[in-house]
């Protein structure tokens, strides 16, 4: 046999008499595993570097001094290893004996019993109790944070929690305190976790081998043998982490816990929302029966009554005012199948294109801008691929809070030596780690990005070969950025010219540079221009179409990508197929039956405007909460109240549902099947773990029942059959039938069954052929500060809440840790206004005012205040400006002018 | 300026504690009074060695040795000895009191049997003067290496000398340098001087640094040249205030003279040294824990391999040597490997510096050829056991070492011979214990030490040191049974093999070693419920002991 020279050299050794060959550099632990032998271990964990602390994995190696630990010892040729020799077993017994001498062996009541490594090994080696006397280490349990307990008397000091906090999270909230026997795991100065840098991801809880770390929500809810796990997808954010819902069966099966699924998106890791934010499922506020308006309140009704009413009223409006007097909002939180059916109902049954959803409020600019520039409006690369980058340029994305698990990829890249450029009006967590931090004023992105392109072209740093072979429009671009000098950009953005130059050079020269952006780029009246500028920057430098590069819009919601893919947009049919293309339209007409509408539908903000003007008279809103998510809420409320008929389908009585005539109770993510498409275009299966509460139904079932009542039978055995229909109509989903998705899902385009999916777009050529470089021109935001409203307001997400808070604010832990709204104000600005930290203030814009507490912090720039938009009681969107980007029709949620004063 | 006489006042830590700085000031005050300030120079030196009888003052050129000097004695030395030329007989070293006083220091037994290589300058030069170091041949070796030797030749010379690490492990220094010299050179390499002297009863590195800091710096520069490192660090205990001060001054002087920094002696070789202070954890003397601490982390050992010569400080190839090892280097380069090999034994050439403490007449700092017997040290240099007591045991190598009973007094003191008897040469602590002490009480203080110093990272050490100490406490109180002894032995077996670093691995050593030689005394406590030395509270009453460490309960 000839050895392939590319293969790493193999080392042959013997483990317990079994011959095994492993690549050089493998540890004895891994070699034994390869031979099918699992060596007992407590401190070792696949996520973590070997540390050799617990010493339980000691083995006997012929000729070696002492008993080396398998986890830290590299293999050597001819090594003879014994993993269970008499000496080894004796040592393991002694170590277990010693551990038990300082462990509260309360297995009878411990949550972890049955799932505890220490218990397993004590059983295996017959160590029933310790042979040592004397008092144990006594530290009281730490119960101070809302998410988990730390029982020091069950801690065995393996250090997994400390290392995951360091090596994986790069948070370093905890470490060992004290020394020797008095060692304990603690924060610096032993402050509570809430005052530490802890982000409550709970990955420490996940790796704890004993019962020392326990999620509060799961205490008393049943032990390992009483639960089973259901693999599904997290309902928060666009990363699409794989989740294992822990379900306890019984009369009413309940979710009692969550653990990270070992999927390709998250590899077992989770953030605080995914791990501790699931208890909204069993909230007493869940809608369980249909509600029909009666006066100022609601009365419960049967499904038949409610759906008959909805079908009748919508039918009447259509009859009287025409199909375009109806509009529907589908949902970035619902499944692909549900969004597909929803837009099918709107188009095929109602006969209008008035369907949109909150993608309009987040990445409409990406869909339009990247579509124009590259031919496809999605993340070009993959999550795993991000780790290959040698430079990250993060602009308008607070990745650590908005996409926590994705940010870990960036941190892993940084640890491997990658550089980081961050551009943001706020000093975000990533900005703190950045090599170059560009703190530009809100709404000045084109000036900043244009100046970078200016520097690159002027200094000849562009990738000429790439520009010549794969782009068009360089001359127009060059001419347009001639005026966007770094000095000009400094005046507009507030960022020193030399920093802009440095950033441009670093980005252009990087071997593999990945751009990550989010709503800081898109939610502007210049959102499309911002995206075009990013697309041009990447294309000019040839930083696209390869591993570790790309233009990566980070989608905000769990299925915002899928809702767009499924045609939940007023201008395209599923799969971004234009109804203006007769052939494509006919394909759908043949499949669906009725002739399809050909005129452009209205977007979210336009629907509200039309409703206020009486052009839209009936609306069907599925799983969206415009009463909190849309700009200028005063106007939204006016619009919704002026409707003849509003039906809202949700899991809670949201701010929007309160205005409805009929409210339909829907199933949450854990209660139904379907697929979500994450930010990297990955379609993943959602599985049903528990039944919906009361009479609540999955959204797809409700749509089917309604369609039937409106004269269009929709009959599907289940979501799988709906997806089959999608695969026939949407080419990029051609291979997404459930049978072909597999555990980790697939990334579109996936044109036929068996296709592996597409991790990186635009490899050989761009989706539209050549990348189009559009000329850039800086336009200021629609509203800028003046003497009356002297400050910029920018809005966004925080780690602990999600979107309009309908779920997270009903999750006990998340609500407990960030119960109240606040406005971030720079210390200098606060001092000038006579505002101190924690004081109640009034923030007012031309459209309204809210009262909330001031958080004085230099995370924000002196000219800028920041308000998270999750809180209904002080809704940031009362203040925001509904001015629209002319192409993407996205409102300028990220910039408006406000004044702040003590309240 | 030439002086007729020099007065050397020991300013080592031990003498300083007995007011030697005041003595020096008094000399400086009184000399002008007698018109002698132009004729006699007062020199503040490092440790001279015979700490037990400090403060010591030596008057040159004659070498008159005064011991136990007080401030009030200075006027007499000035007026009688320096002014009139009459030796002050009452201040001469006279031990025991009945013995004949010794006038000049080379005739004191304590010094007569020593061979001073590492301590060649200690007590003779002003450690704060680089000129005095240079005058005694200092920086000659560095000059020789930089101008006449290749780095490989320096490595070869150290290899040929057979120098072994004086921190305790005895690893061949030349081999270590060779590994580092051949290691990945794509980035920086480092030289680290391990001055985290934490072994109880050991203070040799402190006194070397106080007495001759330039010797260590020169050794580091030579190491740097040999392996291709340009940055050195001295990791030193924060409590060593005087050593730190003198090192800082020495570094500044060497930089000023172009003996550290860029382009040393115009050779193109760059090497600089910085000081980093330790915070008092014993385990930080372990090289990888030292790196962790030096890098700013919690002082915990790392797993090996990789060894420091491949991936040490900041993950780069690093030579880490003990203070004494480095102080040997310049002499070896200057005088050659074959000269060095004339000292000591075949397998362990050279000398060893010991700190001689405990129940011994002449406690202090000594340097002797490797291979000398313990008997010679105790009786020829140390002056024997005081108060008419009998020698019971010597603890060699500090707490991590082992016990030498009377039967082994003639074992040669070198790494291999002591290891063969279950003890260790270690870093040079020599604790002499007489027959008034109880072996259980002694061993209990060792077990307490390990309990106190365990870093807590690995299970056997963190938990095992506690359990060992608890067993010792029970034995001491007369509460232990034979089962406890069996448990102790079983635990010790696991602790020899399972812990992560040498701290845990050696924790049972002093207990097992004392048990091996003094089993009957242990059994007297366990079975007979008596303490033959009358020290332990076996009957429940706090007998003579229960003082010091023994009183601290855990």
Q: Residue A146 carries which DSSP code?
A: S
User: In this structure, is residue B456 part of a structural domain?
Assistant: yes
**How far is the C-alpha of A454 from the C-alpha of A479, rounded, in Å?**
10
User: In this structure, is residue B121 part of a structural domain?
Assistant: no
Contacts with B310 from chain A: Cβ below 8 Å = none
Please indicate whether, in this complex, the C-beta atoms of B459 and A180 are within 8 angstroms of each other. no
pLDDT value of position A6: 53
CATH number at residue B203: 3.40.50.11540
Chain A interface residues facing chain B, Cβ-Cβ under 8 Å? 50-56, 58, 66-67, 69, 72, 74, 87, 90-91, 94-95, 98-99, 101-102, 131-134, 156-157, 159, 175-176, 178-183
Alpha carbon of B222: minimum distance to chain A alpha carbons (Å): 33
- Of B412, B434, B456, the last residue of a domain is B434
Specify whether B234 is located in the same domain as B370.
no
Test mutation, A24, A29, A42, A55, chain B, max B CBs within 10 A: A55
**How far is the C-alpha of A386 from the C-alpha of A838, rounded, in Å?**
39
Specify whether B85 is located in the same domain as B158.
no
Q: SS3 for A456?
A: helix
pLDDT for B540 beyond 80: no
pLDDT for A3 beyond 60: no
**Nearest Cβ partner of A91 from B457, B458, B497?**
B497
Specify whether B175 is located in the same domain as B324.
yes
pLDDT value of position A99: 94
- Beta strands A174-177 and A184-187 are antiparallel
Test mutation, A50, A67, A94, A157, chain B, max B CBs within 10 A: A94
User: In this structure, is residue B125 part of a structural domain?
Assistant: no
**Which among B245, B293, B251, B249 has a CA at the least distance from the CA of B272?**
B251
Specify whether B206 is located in the same domain as B267.
yes
Task: Indicate left, alpha or beta for A290 from its phi (over 0: left) and psi (-120 to 50: alpha).
Answer: beta
**Which among A199, A159, A18 has a CA at the least distance from the CA of B456?**
A159
Q: Residue A342 carries which DSSP code?
A: H
CATH number at residue B537: 1.20.1440.230
Contacts with B500 from chain A: Cβ below 8 Å = 52-53, 55, 69
pLDDT value of position A45: 95
Specify whether B443 is located in the same domain as B428.
no
- pLDDT tens per residue, range A501-551: 999 999 999 999 999 999 999 999 999 999 999 999 999 999 999 999 999
**How far is the C-alpha of B32 from the C-alpha of A242, rounded, in Å?**
87
The Cα-based distances of B220 to B172, B227, B247, B273, B326 in angstroms read 16, 11, 13, 8, 6
Burial of A474 (0-12, 13-18, 19+ CB in 10 A): middle
pLDDT value of position A30: 95
Specify whether B331 is located in the same domain as B359.
no
CATH number at residue B95: 3.40.30.10
Q: What is the mean pLDDT of residues B502-508?
A: 90
Number of domains in chain B: 4
The Cα-based distances of A145 to A109, A814, B538 in angstroms read 22, 11, 49
Which residues are CB-contacts of B397 (< 8 A; sequence separation ≥ 6)? Answer: B168, B199, B418, B423, B424, B425, B426, B427, B428, B429
Specify whether B418 is located in the same domain as B444.
no
Specify whether B260 is located in the same domain as B319.
yes
- Of B384, B402, B434, the last residue of a domain is B434
pLDDT value of position B280: 85
pLDDT for B552 beyond 50: no
Q: SS3 for B259?
A: coil
Least-confidence region, from A326-335, B97-106, B109-118: B97-106
Q: Residue B350 carries which DSSP code?
A: S
Contact in structure between A173 and A192 (CB atoms under 8 Å): no
Alpha carbon of A52: minimum distance to chain B alpha carbons (Å): 7
Please indicate whether, in this complex, the C-beta atoms of A66 and B498 are within 8 angstroms of each other. yes
- HSE, CB side, 13 Å, CA atoms: give it for residue B395: 26
Please indicate whether, in this complex, the C-beta atoms of B463 and A53 are within 8 angstroms of each other. no
Q: What is the mean pLDDT of residues A574-584?
A: 91
- pLDDT tens per residue, range B168-216: 889 999 999 999 999 998 999 999 999 999 888 888 999 999 999 999 9
Band (pLDDT 50/70/90 cuts) for residue B550 is very low
Specify whether B507 is located in the same domain as B480.
yes
User: In this structure, is residue B114 part of a structural domain?
Assistant: no
- Interface pTM (ipTM) of the complex? 0.83
Minimum Cα–Cα distance from A68: chain B residue: B498
Whether the upstream peptide bond of residue A81 has omega within 30° of 0, thus cis, is no
- Count the Cβ atoms, other than its own, within 10 Å of residue B60: 17
Specify whether B102 is located in the same domain as B148.
no
Range of the domain at B405: 351-434
Q: Name the B residues in 278-317 with CB < 8 Å from any A CB.
A: 281, 298, 300, 303, 305
User: In this structure, is residue B120 part of a structural domain?
Assistant: no
**How far is the C-alpha of B145 from the C-alpha of B152, rounded, in Å?**
10
Band (pLDDT 50/70/90 cuts) for residue B554 is very low
A314 membership: H or E segment, kind and range: helix A303-321
**Which among A568, A528, A527 has a CA at the least distance from the CA of A332?**
A568
Q: Residue B390 carries which DSSP code?
A: P
Test mutation, B198, B458, B463, B487, chain A, max A CBs within 10 A: B463
Contact in structure between B391 and B434 (CB atoms under 8 Å): yes
- pLDDT tens per residue, range A662-700: 999 999 999 999 999 999 999 999 999 999 999 999 999
Band (pLDDT 50/70/90 cuts) for residue A5 is very low
Contacts with B490 from chain A: Cβ below 8 Å = 90, 94
Q: Name the B residues in 486-515 with CB < 8 Å from any A CB.
A: 487, 490-491, 493-494, 496-500, 505
Query: What mean pLDDT, rounded, does chain A reach?
Result: 94
Specify whether B73 is located in the same domain as B212.
no
Sign of CA dihedral A801, A805, A811, A815: positive
Q: SS3 for B265?
A: helix
**How far is the C-alpha of B86 from the C-alpha of A128, rounded, in Å?**
80
Query: What mean pLDDT, rounded, does chain B reach?
Result: 91
- Beta strands B391-396 and B402-404 are antiparallel
**Which among A774, A776, A773, A775 has a CA at the least distance from the CA of A444?**
A776
pLDDT value of position B546: 43
The Cα-based distances of B107 to A147, B50, B113, B273 in angstroms read 76, 13, 10, 39
pLDDT for A8 beyond 80: no
Contacts with A91 from chain B: Cβ below 8 Å = 494, 497-498
- Of B411, B434, B457, the last residue of a domain is B434
CATH number at residue B361: 3.10.20.600
User: In this structure, is residue B345 part of a structural domain?
Assistant: no
User: In this structure, is residue B256 part of a structural domain?
Assistant: yes
Query: What is the model's pTM?
Result: 0.89
Residues of A551-588 as b/e, b for ≥16 C-beta within 10 angstroms? bbbbbbbbbbbbbbbbbbbbbbbbbbbebeeeebbeeb
Alpha carbon of A116: minimum distance to chain B alpha carbons (Å): 18
**How far is the C-alpha of A346 from the C-alpha of A364, rounded, in Å?**
20
pLDDT value of position A2: 41
User: In this structure, is residue B93 part of a structural domain?
Assistant: yes
Specify whether B63 is located in the same domain as B144.
no
């Amino acid at each position: 046999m000839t050895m392939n020279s590319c293969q790493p050299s193999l080392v042959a050794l013997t483990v317990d008499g079994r011959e095994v060959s492993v690549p050089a550099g493998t540890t004895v632990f891994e070699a034994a595993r390869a031979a099918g032998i699992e060596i007992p271990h407590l401190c070792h964990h696949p996520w973590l570097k070997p540390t050799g602390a617990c010493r339980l994995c000691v083995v006997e190696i012929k000729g070696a001094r002492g008993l080396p630990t398998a986890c830290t010892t590299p293999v050597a040729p001819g090594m003879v290893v014994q993993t269970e020799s008499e000496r080894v077993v004796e040592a393991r017994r002694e170590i277990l004996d010693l551990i038990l001498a300082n462990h509260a062996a309360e297995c009878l009541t411990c949550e972890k019993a049955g799932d505890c490594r220490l218990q397993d090994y004590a059983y295996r080696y017959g160590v029933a109790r310790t042979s040592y006397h004397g008092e144990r280490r006594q530290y009281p349990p730490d119960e101070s944070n809302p998410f988990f307990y730390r029982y020091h008397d069950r801690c065995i000091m393996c250090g997994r929690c400390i290392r995951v906090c360091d090596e994986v999270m790069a948070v370093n909230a905890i470490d060992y305190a004290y020394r020797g026997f008095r060692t304990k795991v603690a924060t610096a100065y032993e402050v509570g976790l809430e005052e530490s840098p802890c982000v409550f991801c709970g990955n420490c809880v996940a790796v704890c081998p004993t019962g020392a770390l326990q999620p509060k929500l799961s205490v008393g809810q049943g032990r390992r043998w009483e639960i089973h796990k259901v693999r599904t997808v997290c309902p928060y954010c666009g990363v699409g982490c794989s989740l294992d819902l822990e379900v306890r069966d019984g009369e009413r099966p309940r979710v009692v816990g969550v653990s990270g699924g070992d999927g390709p998106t998250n590899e077992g890791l989770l953030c605080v929302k995914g791990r501790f934010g699931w208890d909204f499922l069993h909230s007493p506020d869940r809608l369980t029966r249909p509600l029909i308006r009666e006066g100022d309140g609601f009365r419960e009704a049967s499904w038949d009554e409610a759906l008959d009413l909805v079908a009748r009223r919508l039918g009447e409006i259509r009859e009287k005012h025409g199909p375009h007097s109806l509009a529907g909002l589908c949902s970035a939180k619902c499944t692909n199948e549900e969004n597909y059916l929803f837009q099918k109902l709107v188009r095929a049954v109602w006969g209008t294109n008035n369907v949109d959803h909150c993608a309009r409020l987040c990445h409409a600019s990406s869909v339009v801008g990247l579509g124009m520039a590259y031919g496809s409006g999605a993340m070009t690369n993959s999550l795993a691929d991000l780790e290959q980058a040698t430079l990250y340029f993060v602009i308008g994305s607070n990745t650590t809070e908005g996409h926590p698990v994705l940010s870990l990829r960036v941190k892993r890249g940084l640890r491997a030596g990658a550089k980081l450029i961050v551009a943001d009006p706020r000093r975000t967590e990533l900005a703190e780690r950045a090599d170059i931090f560009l703190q530009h004023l809100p709404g000045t992105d084109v000036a900043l990005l244009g100046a970078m392109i200016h520097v690159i072209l002027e200094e000849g740093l562009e990738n000429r070969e790439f520009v010549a072979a794969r782009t068009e429009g360089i001359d127009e671009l060059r001419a347009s950025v001639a005026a966007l000098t770094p000095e000009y950009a400094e005046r507009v953005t507030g960022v020193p010219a030399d920093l802009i130059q440095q950033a441009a050079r670093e980005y252009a020269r990087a071997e593999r540079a990945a751009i990550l952006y989010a709503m800081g780029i898109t939610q502007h009246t210049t959102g499309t221009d911002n995206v075009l500028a990013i697309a041009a920057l990447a294309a000019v430098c040839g930083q696209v179409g390869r591993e570790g590069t790309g233009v990566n819009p980070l989608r905000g919601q769990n299925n915002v990508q899928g809702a767009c893919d499924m045609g939940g947009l007023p201008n395209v049919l599923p799969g971004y197929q234009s109804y203006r293309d007769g052939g494509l339209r006919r394909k759908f007409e043949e499949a669906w039956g009725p002739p399809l509408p050909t005129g452009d539908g209205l977007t979210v903000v336009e629907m509200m405007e039309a409703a206020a003007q009486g052009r839209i008279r009936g609306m069907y809103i599925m799983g969206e909460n415009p009463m909190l998510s849309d700009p200028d809420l005063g106007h939204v409320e006016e619009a919704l109240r002026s409707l003849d008929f509003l039906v809202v389908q949700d899991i809670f009585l949201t701010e929007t549902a309160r205005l409805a005539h009929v409210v339909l109770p829907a199933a949450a993510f854990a209660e139904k099947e379907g697929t979500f498409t994450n930010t990297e275009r990955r379609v993943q299966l959602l599985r049903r773990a528990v039944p919906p509460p009361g009479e609540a139904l999955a959204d797809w079932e409700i749509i089917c029942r309604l369609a039937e009542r409106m004269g269009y039978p929709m009959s599907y055995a289940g979501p799988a059959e709906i997806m089959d229909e999608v695969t026939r109509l949407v080419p990029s989903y051609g291979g997404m039938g459930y049978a072909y998705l597999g555990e980790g899902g697939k990334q579109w385009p996936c044109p036929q069954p068996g296709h592996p999916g597409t991790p990186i777009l635009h490899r050989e050529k761009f989706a539209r052929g050549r990348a189009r470089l559009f000329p850039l021109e800086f336009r200021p935001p629609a509203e800028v500060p003046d003497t009356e409203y002297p400050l910029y307001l920018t809005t966004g997400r925080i780690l602990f809440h999600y979107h309009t808070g309908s779920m997270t604010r009903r999750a006990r832990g998340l609500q407990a840790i960030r119960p109240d709204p606040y406005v971030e104000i720079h210390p200098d600005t606060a001092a000038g206004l006579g505002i101190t930290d924690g004081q109640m203030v009034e923030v007012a814009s031309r459209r309204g005012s809210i009262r909330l507490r001031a958080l004085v912090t230099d995370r924000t720039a002196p000219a800028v205040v920041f308000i998270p938009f999750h809180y209904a009681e002080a809704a940031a969107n009362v203040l925001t400006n509904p001015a629209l980007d002319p192409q993407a029709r996205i409102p300028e949620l990220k910039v408006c002018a406000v004044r702040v004063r003590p309240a | 300026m030439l002086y007729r006489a020099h007065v050397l006042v020991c300013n080592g830590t031990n003498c300083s504690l007995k007011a030697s700085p005041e003595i020096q000031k008094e000399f400086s005050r009184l000399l002008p009074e007698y018109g002698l300030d132009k004729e006699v120079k007062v020199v503040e030196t490092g440790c001279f060695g015979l700490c037990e009888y400090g403060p010591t003052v030596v008057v040159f050129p004659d070498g008159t040795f005064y011991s136990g000097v007080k401030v009030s004695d200075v006027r007499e030395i000035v007026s009688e000895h320096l002014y009139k030329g009459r030796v002050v007989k009452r201040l001469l070293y006279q031990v025991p009191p009945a013995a004949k006083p010794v006038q000049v220091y080379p005739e004191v037994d304590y010094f007569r049997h020593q061979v001073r290589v590492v301590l060649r300058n200690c007590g003779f030069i002003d450690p704060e003067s680089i000129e005095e170091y240079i005058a005694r041949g200092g920086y000659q070796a560095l000059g020789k290496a930089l101008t006449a030797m290749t780095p490989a030749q320096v490595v070869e010379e150290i290899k040929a000398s057979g120098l072994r690490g004086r921190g305790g492990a005895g690893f061949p220094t030349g081999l270590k340098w060779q590994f580092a010299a051949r290691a990945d050179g794509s980035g920086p390499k480092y030289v680290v001087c391990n001055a985290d002297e934490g072994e109880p009863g050991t203070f040799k590195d402190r006194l070397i640094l106080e007495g001759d800091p330039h010797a260590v710096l020169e050794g580091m520069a030579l190491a740097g040249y040999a392996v291709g490192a340009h940055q050195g660090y001295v990791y030193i205990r924060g409590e060593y205030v005087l050593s730190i001060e003198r090192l800082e001054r020495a570094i500044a002087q060497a930089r000023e003279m172009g003996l550290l920094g860029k382009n040393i002696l115009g050779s193109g070789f760059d090497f600089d040294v910085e000081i980093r202070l330790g915070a008092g954890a014993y385990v930080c003397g372990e090289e990888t824990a030292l790196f962790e601490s030096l890098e700013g982390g919690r002082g915990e050992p790392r797993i090996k391999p990789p060894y420091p010569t491949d991936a040490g400080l900041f993950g780069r190839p690093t030579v880490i040597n003990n203070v004494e090892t480095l102080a040997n280097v310049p002499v070896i380069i200057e005088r050659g490997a074959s000269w060095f090999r004339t000292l000591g034994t075949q397998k362990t050439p050279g000398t060893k510096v010991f700190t001689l403490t405990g129940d011994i007449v002449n406690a202090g700092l000594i340097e002797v050829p490797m291979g000398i017997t313990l008997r010679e040290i105790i009786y020829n240099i140390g002056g024997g056991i005081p108060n008419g007591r009998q020698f019971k045991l010597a603890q060699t190598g500090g707490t991590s070492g082992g016990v030498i009973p009377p039967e082994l007094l003639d074992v040669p003191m070198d790494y291999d011979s002591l290891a063969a008897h279950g003890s260790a040469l270690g870093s040079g602590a020599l604790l002499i214990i007489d027959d008034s002490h109880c072996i259980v009480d002694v061993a209990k203080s060792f077990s307490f030490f390990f309990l106190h110093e365990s870093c807590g990272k690995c299970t056997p050490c963190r938990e095992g040191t506690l359990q060992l100490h608890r067993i010792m406490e029970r034995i001491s109180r007369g509460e232990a049974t034979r089962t406890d002894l069996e448990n102790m032995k079983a635990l010790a077996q696991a602790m020899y093999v399972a812990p992560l670093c040498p701290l845990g691995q050696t924790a049972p050593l002093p207990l097992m070693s004392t048990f091996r030689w003094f089993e009957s005394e242990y059994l007297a406590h366990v079975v007979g419920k008596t303490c033959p030395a009358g020290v332990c509270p076996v009957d429940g009453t706090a007998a003579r002991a229960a003082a010091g460490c023994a009183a601290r309960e855990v």
